[in-house]
Amino acid sequence: MEIVTTIKEVRDRVKQWKLEGLTVGFVPTMGYLHKGHGSLIERAALENDKVVISIFVNPIQFGPKEDLSSYPRDIKRDSEISKLAGGNLIFYPENEEMYFKDFSTYVDVDGITEGLCGSKRPGHFRGVATVVIKLFNIVNAHRAYFGEKDAQQLAVINRMVRDLNIDIEIVPCPIIREKDNLAMSSRNIYLSIEEREAALVLSKALEKCRKAIENGEKSTHKLVQLMKDEIHKTTLSKVDYIEIVDSGSLGKVQEIKSSVLVALAVFIGKTRLIDNFTYNI
């Protein structure tokens, strides 16, 4: 697996591929890859001739009290996983390659960033949208692959691509879970054995909510309470948010009348985990 660290190297490689008439898929990540990332790379390899993976822990999307410095890294393992999944090139830049000292241009996506993670992580989506548009401009791929695990992020990227007329196809990919239904995440490595067990309350809460909706429950207030009760079955959890929003606008809804995104963020010990599902009507 070829690993390059400069913008020029990626651009040259992709330019050459395009001259040869090849299509290019792109999978942006923060590294410490797992099967969730692997599924994105595999899908990209199925749909494109070449696949570029970026591995960059983007400092501007982390808040001052978040886990930027402790975020897990293992480029050797990432390289092996990328290769096995069908990747061709890893872009692995240093911060200095991505951000000039006097960097001062940002992308703000309004509205859909107000609730969910947006309200709990101020500036997060500004950092995400900014680095993603930079990566799109650097890699210049035909398609980019994003996980539904980060549902609000996917909505932000779709909105940005639409609003700014970016010439790329965004491909959403389903959430990949462990056998016991915990959504795969690089952050799961932070969990102790006890916390790993406790973390199952996230998917259990979502499953209860889904069943209740299927059984006719329409009140989002009641559904959120149902999920809270499940989350609080362990003393190791602390709810950051539980929200049911319109799946298009991401605005809060009182009643289930159209398709909704049910999303939650929960601290298990010090580790903040997210999970969600979309209920289509």
Distance CA 108, CA 133 (A): 11
CA 269 vs CA 172, 174, 216, 224, 235: distances in Å: 30, 27, 34, 21, 9
| Stretch touching ligand AMP by CB under 6 A, among 141-149, 206-214, 243-251, 258-266 | 141-149
175 binds ligand AMP (CB under 6 A): yes
Query: CB of residue 40 vs ligand AMP: minimum separation in angstroms?
Result: 6
Total residues contacting ligand AMP by CB under 6 A comes to: 17
Rounded Cα gap, residues 24 and 14, in angstroms? 8
Q: Does 107 bind ligand AMP (CB under 6 A)?
A: no
Nearest residue to ligand AMP, scored by beta-carbon proximity: 147
Distant-in-sequence, close-in-space partners of 42: CB < 8 Å, separation ≥ 6: 85, 86
Other C-beta atoms lying within 10 Å of the C-beta of residue 245: 22
Site for ligand AMP contains 176 (CB under 6 A):
yes
6 vs 181, beta carbon nearer ligand AMP: 181
Q: Per CB under 6 A, does 43 bind ligand AMP?
A: no
Mark the segment that binds ligand AMP (CB under 6 A) among 142-150, 225-233, 246-254, 271-279: 142-150
| Nearest alpha carbon to residue 91 among 135, 126, 58 | 135
The reply on whether position 30 binds ligand AMP by CB under 6 A is yes
| Minimum CB–partner distance for residue 42 and ligand AMP (Å) | 11
Q: Is 185 a binder of ligand AMP (CB under 6 A)? A: yes
Q: Indicate if 221 belongs to the active site.
A: no
* Angstrom distance (rounded) from CA 44 to CA 24: 8
Beta strands in the chain (DSSP E): 2-4, 24-29, 50-55, 89-91, 143-147, 169-173, 237-246, 260-268, 271-279
Known catalytic residues?
Answer: 37
- Residues within the interface to ligand AMP (CB under 6 A): 29-30, 36-37, 39-40, 146-147, 149-150, 173, 175-176, 183-186
